[in-house]
Amino acid sequence: MKFIVSTGALLKQLSLIDGVVSTNTVLPILEDFLFDISKGKLTMFSTDLETSMSTELEVEAREDGKIAIPARMLMNILKTLPEQPLTFSIDEQNYGIEITSDNGKYKLTGENGDDYPRIPVAEDIKDVKISSVVLRNAISKCLFAVGSDELRPAMTGVNFEINKEGITFVSTDAHKLVRYKRNDTRSTSAANFIVPRKALQLINGALPTEDTQVTISYNASNAFFSFGSVNLICRLIDARFPDYNAVIPSDNPNKLIINSNEILNALRRLIIFANKTTHQVSFDLKGSGLTITARDLDFSNEATEKLVCNYNGDDMEIAFNGRFLTEILSAINTDEVQFEMSTPTRAALLSPTQSDEKENTLMLVMPIMVNG
């Protein structure tokens, strides 16, 4: 089997699916890309058994065939070669691979493509179509709040809720929570499923810069994302997402509106002086002023900043994990942000003061006990 392909085109497509490849696995073939040539089209696959990705490319080929090629070696070769045609010659008896460039030959050994794990097929699916811009925005807003505790698997992904009213993306790690709603992406059939963090990171990296349509198909066990020449399949997290509505307080009379960049930059400075375990920052709200304090009693470090704000509510002192707050504020990309609070022991809600009528963003952060 022989085929000819452009170095740049091949590297571009493989870079989209390279993140799936396992580097620490009991199945050596999972460290390979599967190349499948059919009628002059090369389809490239990668999988870790939980997540699979594929993309395709037109090549010069006279015959069909399959070969599994070591991913790391191939990527390292392609990254160092200038743009030029490459000829791949495959010995189908011993799976030897010879790559010929303008100035060199490179030999490596692959594996039988028929031994590559079977990629799940979309069966009994329902689907919904969504803009790539909307999906990227949802992923970027939700990923930072995804949990990493494997003992709570439901929190290690983003919950997708689809119905006739729209689509809602929710993530939480029990300390912070993000709920992002869109009313311009709807489905006649309601569905609820949890997509793992890794799959969403891969999708985010592969989405094109220009707006395109993404088809999200799903069944009881898998989700299928398709856009352009890229297809991603991931096993859904088999768990029930927590009832997040129960932790969102409804009565929040104390409202603070403040410039997003000013408070974000202040927090970044103050965290330097905070306790390295709790990262505690204390908000002292009085009148139209906000005083933020961070201190580390063990090392006698302390810093305070006063910010002008618009505050309506009772005087109060409330403390947060400063790192959590900076993550949330970094994801709210508007000039001003609104805090809604009730008491120092209940969750605070953060939301942008300006937003598209098609979306609704709500972020929640749990307070911590005021210390010192």
The alpha carbon of residue 37 and the mean position of all alpha carbons in its chain are separated, in whole angstroms, by 31
The helix/strand/coil state of 148 is coil
Report whether pLDDT(5) > 60: yes
Report whether pLDDT(104) > 80: yes
pLDDT 10s digits, 292-346: 999 998 899 999 999 999 999 999 999 999 999 999 999 998 999 999 999 999 9
The reported pLDDT for the residue numbered 158 is 98
The reported pLDDT for the residue numbered 131 is 95
Report whether pLDDT(372) > 60: no
The reported pLDDT for the residue numbered 371 is 56
User: Residue 160: which residues within 8 A CB-CB, separation 6 or more?
Assistant: 167, 168, 169, 191, 192, 193, 194, 195, 216, 223
The Cα–Cα gap between 56 and 227 comes to 12
Triad 46, 52, 54: Cα angle to 5°:
60
Report whether pLDDT(272) > 90: yes
User: Residue 225: which residues within 8 A CB-CB, separation 6 or more?
Assistant: 199, 203, 214, 215, 216, 231, 232, 233, 234
Report whether pLDDT(109) > 80: yes
Report whether pLDDT(370) > 80: no
The reported pLDDT for the residue numbered 362 is 97
Q: Which among 167, 228, 179, 225 has a CA at the least distance from the CA of 198?
A: 225
| Mean pLDDT over the full length of the chain | 95
Query: What sign does the CA torsion over 213, 218, 223, 229 have?
Result: negative
CB 290 within 8 A of CB 306: yes
The reported pLDDT for the residue numbered 25 is 80
Report whether pLDDT(106) > 90: yes
The Cα–Cα gap between 183 and 360 comes to 9
Full DSSP string of 52-78: EEEEEEE-EESS-EEEEEEHHHHHHHH
Section 102-108 average pLDDT: 95
Domains of the chain (ranges plus CATH)?
2-115 (3.10.150.10), 126-245 (3.10.150.10), 249-365 (3.10.150.10)
List the alpha helices (DSSP H) in 92-196: 132-142
Section 72-83 average pLDDT: 96
Section 16-31 average pLDDT: 91
**Band of the pLDDT at 355, cuts 50, 70, 90?**
confident
The reported pLDDT for the residue numbered 133 is 95
> In terms of residues, how long is the chain?
372
The CA distances from residue 205 to 16, 20, 159, 160, in Å, are: 7, 12, 19, 19
The reported pLDDT for the residue numbered 70 is 97
The Cα–Cα gap between 264 and 248 comes to 23
**Band of the pLDDT at 121, cuts 50, 70, 90?**
confident
The answer to whether the predicted template modeling score (pTM) of the entire model surpasses 0.85 is yes
Tokens at 305, concatenated: 């900043």
**Band of the pLDDT at 43, cuts 50, 70, 90?**
very high
